Amino acid sequence: MGWYYTKHTKDDSAIVSKIETVLLEYPYYGYRRVTKEIANKNTIINKKKIYRIMKESNLLCSKKKKAFIPKTTDSNHSLLIYPNEIAPLSPLQPCEIWVADITYVWTGNGFVYVAIVLDQVSRKVVGWSIGTHMHRQLCIDALEMALLKHRPPTYHHSDRGVQYCSHDYINLLKKHNITSSMAAVGVSVDNPFAESFNRTLKVEEVYLHAYESFEEARDSIAEFIMVYNEKRLHSSLGYIPPVEFEARYYQSINN
C-alpha cells in the first residue's frame, strides 16, 4: 500500500505507525473505527487527533455520503418478464449460468455505472462495462465482452430491470441460445452471486479510492477486475482465484 506522509512530530510518527497497523488489516476503516481499534490496544487518543493525522497522511478512506443514490433497477415497464429458471439448479461447471447486475460508483464528476457478467460457478467476471449512463447498451457491452471471450452459457440470470428486458438484450441472448432467467422484484437473494461481487468491488476497490474522473474510475476498476479474476483468493473456490479454478476444472475433464 503506497502511503505518502507529511512531516510529523515524534509523537505523531508513533501514532502513524499504529494507524498503519490498523489499516493493513482493515483498509476501509474511517478515523472513528481506527480510533476505537487503537484504544482497544490500550492507547487512548482523541479521535480529532486521529482525524488530523490521517488527513495529513492521506490515510482517510473516501466514503462520501450522497443525498442522491441512483436506482439501478427499473422494473416498472411493459417489457416481457422471464421467470426464475435457475432457482432449482445446482450448477457444477463453468458456463452453465452467467449472472448479471449493475452498480454505481461516485467520482468527482458525478456517478458512473458498472455492468458485470459473472460466471456463477467459477465466480469469474467474464464481461464488464463502465459508463456515465445506465442505458441498455451498457449491459449489452458487458454481455458482448463475455460472449467474445467465452462459450455461451445455458442460462443468463439478472434482475427485471429495463436494460435486461430490452428487445436488444433479449435478442442477443436468443441469438446464442441462452435461456433468460430473472429474479423477483426487490429480492436480492435471487441474484446473490452478482450482489456479492458488487459488495466486494465496493469494499475492496471503490471505498479505498476517491476517483476524480470517469477515466480514473474506469482504469482502476479494470485493474481490480483483473486482480479479482487472476490473483484474488476466493474462499468458496478453496482459496484459489477464479482463473485458476477454471484451469483446474478444464484440465481435470481433459485428462
In the structure, what pLDDT confidence band is assigned to residue 5 with cuts at 50, 70 and 90?
A: very low
Q: Map grid coordinates 473505527 to a residue.
A: 33
Contacts 24+ apart (CB under 8 A), 223-229: 225/125, 225/128, 228/125, 228/200, 228/201, 229/124, 229/125
- The pLDDT tens digits for 111-155 are 899 999 999 999 999 999 999 988 899 999 999 999 999 999 999
pTM tops 0.85, yes or no: no
Q: What is the CA angle 27-30-35, rounded to 5? A: 105
Contacts 24+ apart (CB under 8 A), 186-189: none
Residues β-bridged to residue 182? 158
Strand 110-119 to 125-131 pairing: antiparallel
Q: How far apart are CA 112 and CA 13, in angstroms?
A: 37
- The pLDDT tens digits for 29-65 are 778 878 888 887 777 788 888 888 888 777 776 544 4
- Take residue 117 and report the three cell numbers written for it: 457478467
Q: What local confidence, expressed as pLDDT, does residue 28 receive?
A: 65
Residues β-bridged to residue 152? none
Half-sphere exposure of 66 (CA within 13 A, CB side): 12
- The pLDDT tens digits for 180-225 are 999 887 555 678 899 999 999 998 999 888 899 999 999 999 999 9
